[in-house]
Structure 1
């Protein structure tokens, strides 16, 4: 069937990745997520694991403050992901979103492409929230 929606698990490759996570031993799941993120970041040429990498990034984001649960992903619960996966997931999403030959270029409907890019941007916001701002003090100057 290919791709049927803009969600991280709305395509065959990501659904297969979810199935693989479901059948893997619990202690292997963290490494499966890490492996697909690193492979995508380090890839040269075509990003063959981009759909799985977006799904993995969504799983990591789901465990972050402000993250949303993954509805269509693995049926088994995921272990707690180490904090270093947040940075990897963010780097991976940047790579996927900007790859001219990857999923970003495959959308037929421009509105779907924009909505998909918005999903990636939302995931990135959760993975790497903007730095806290410190209000400037209003200091009166002597006259």
Structure 2
């Protein structure tokens, strides 16, 4: 796992995902985020790959940044180009994806549990709270 810290973009997969978001045409960036959410929620109860989870967490951070109480994404590993105003409907999709990331069987969850550091999970729960509390 090419991870160097607990933030949504503090891993190789999320940094690469940011490039995909930047490369999406204006007006299509929300679709890239939605796809990341649905790839995670579409796994149902099957084993969830860490890379899919990392992309969903990064996407959720981008959506949460536009919500009241959300933190701006300021890391150099996040997207460089403006996203525009994201549809409010992405919030519920992000919440569902984060719920799945934090539920077994989830490789990313297992990796962080093995590390013994609960800070990552707290950060994901905080993102979820911002997204769930935002009104469309």
* Partner Cα distance (1:130, 1:88) in 2: 13
Give the secondary structure class of the aligned counterpart of 2:102.
helix
Deviation at 1:99, TM superposition (A): 2.7
Deviation at 1:130, TM superposition (A): 8.8
Q: Which blocks of at least 5 consecutive residues in structure 2 are unaligned?
A: none
Partner of 1:57: 60
Partner of 1:47: 48
Contact kept? 2:67, 2:134, Cα under 8 Å: no
Q: Which blocks of at least 5 consecutive residues in structure 1 are unaligned?
A: 132-143
Q: Which moved more, 1:68-77 or 1:44-53?
A: 44-53
Partner of 1:8: 8
Pairs within 5 Å for 1:68-83: 68-72=71-75, 73-83=78-88
Give the secondary structure class of the aligned counterpart of 2:10.
coil
Tell me the matched-pair count.
129
Give the secondary structure class of the aligned counterpart of 1:7.
coil
Higher relative contact order (CA 8 A, sep 6+): 2
Measured against aligned partners, the alpha-carbon deviations of 1:103-129 in whole angstroms (never above 9, x if no partner) come to 111124212xx1001101110111012
Partner of 1:109: 115
* Partner Cα distance (2:48, 2:79) in 1: 22
* Partner Cα distance (1:99, 1:5) in 2: 22
**If the length of structure 2 is used for normalisation, what is the TM-score?**
0.87
Give the secondary structure class of the aligned counterpart of 1:106.
helix
Give the secondary structure class of the aligned counterpart of 1:98.
coil
* Partner Cα distance (1:109, 1:96) in 2: 16
